[in-house]
Copies of this chain bind each other. A is one copy, B any other.
């Protein structure tokens, strides 16, 4: 039985880790870290867990925690994990960091976009970007995982095959993304109040969103050249779900079958990436509560572009689910253990 600790267990991503691990047969949570709710019953913070979780919230002492558990999930704002991690901790325990601290290899890029100093850049090289479908081999051997961001996961998986195979022009990629509100976290901000979000939508972080360089790094790796994109996230009145619509110019004329074959080449053996049937547009509701990413594409012969689409649950494949998938790989378990979550509809 793998012993797991969560730092930041009372945020939405942390709570989703708790939900998923509650159904995992080979892991158990030993530490519910939450600075805001120390000594409070976890089930009083998340009452859905009443009579399921009996534990009490603890502080976020990573030092002590590392002595008690096999794996630590940090579901905290950027900067925290990087400020706590050290060699001793890493020698005792594995870390899966759900923040952005170790996702971007170039520390200057990280510091520029996040506006903070990186306190432990020496681990950037070791840290593995935990996009399992692409980096499975490295994940298995890792001590420190940078769990990918929600938008980067959905975007990269949607575009990767066509970029990797050289079908699209990297300089023409435009990503228009839409997200439910749980991605904004559980902080009490006016902008995230029900009445401000409901019956409303808007773009935000236009041309400046921090997931941009993370996506660009992954796409650059796929393309084998430096890629710049436009990435525009939007806030939509729903709890869960990310939908990305990506546009790129095709380098040559292709048929539906040719493009489909490329997607299948990469994903037909991937349990958690479903390439939909022709003309079926991904819908976030079809993946809600599950670890699936549904992807598909449409060729526009008029403009010689391809529209690539992806839908996933931002809290599962975009955060906690992918973190558990990484844990499974790191510990040699069945990759989908605990993740046989059937999407809930309606």
A108 beta carbon closer than 8 Å to chain B: no
For A283, list chain B residues within 8 Å (CB).
47, 200-202
Most chain B beta carbons < 10 A, residue from A199, A204, A239, A281: A199
Q: Which of A115-123, A131-139, A286-294, A321-329 contacts B (4 or more CB under 8 A)?
A: A286-294
What's the Cα separation between A198 and B203 when bound, in Å? 20
Most buried by B among A237, A243, A299, A302: A237
Does A229 touch B at the CB level, under 8 Å?
A: yes
Q: Which residues of B contact A196 (CB under 8 A)?
A: 194, 285, 346
User: A240–B180 Cα gap in the complex (Å)?
Assistant: 17
Q: For the complex, is A305 an interface residue (Cβ under 8 Å from B)?
A: yes
Q: Does B194 lie within 8 Å of A192, measured CB to CB?
A: yes
Q: A300, B237: Cβ atoms under 8 Å?
A: no
Contacts of A239 in B (CB 8 A): 194-195, 198-199, 346
B204 x A281 contact (CB < 8 A): yes
Of residues 304 through 339 on chain A, the ones whose CB sits less than 8 Å from some CB of chain B are: 305, 307, 309, 311
- Judge if A340 is at the interface, Cβ distance under 8 Å: yes
Stretch at the interface among A76-84, A92-100, A144-152, A183-191: A183-191
CB distance A236 to B201 under 8 Å?
yes
Q: Copies of this chain, how many?
A: 4
Q: Do residues B298 and A207 form an inter-chain contact, with CB atoms below 8 A?
A: yes
| Complex: A241 Cα to B194 Cα, angstroms | 14
Please indicate which of the listed interface residues A192, A241, A285, A286 has the most CB atoms of chain B within 10 Å of its own CB: A285
- Chain A, interface size category, equals 35 or more
| Docked pose: A340 CA to B200 CA in angstroms | 21
**Whole-angstrom distance between the alpha carbons of A144 and B44 in the complex?**
40
A140 contacts the other chain (CB 8 A):
no
Do residues A240 and B346 form an inter-chain contact, with CB atoms below 8 A?
A: yes
Query: Does A103 sit within 8 A of B, measured CB to CB?
Result: no
A167-186 Cβ-contact flags toward B at 8 Å (1 or 0) = 00000001010101110001
B182-A188 in contact (CB<8A): no
Instruction: From known contacts A200-B238, A239-B198, infer whether A207 and B300 are also in contact, taking CB-CB under 8 Å.
Output: yes
Seed contacts A181-B193, A202-B284, A207-B298; 20 additional CB < 8 Å A-B pairs: A19-B345, A47-B276, A48-B286, A48-B343, A180-B199, A182-B195, A193-B193, A194-B239, A195-B239, A199-B241, A200-B284, A201-B238, A201-B284, A202-B243, A203-B307, A206-B307, A230-B300, A230-B303, A232-B307, A240-B346
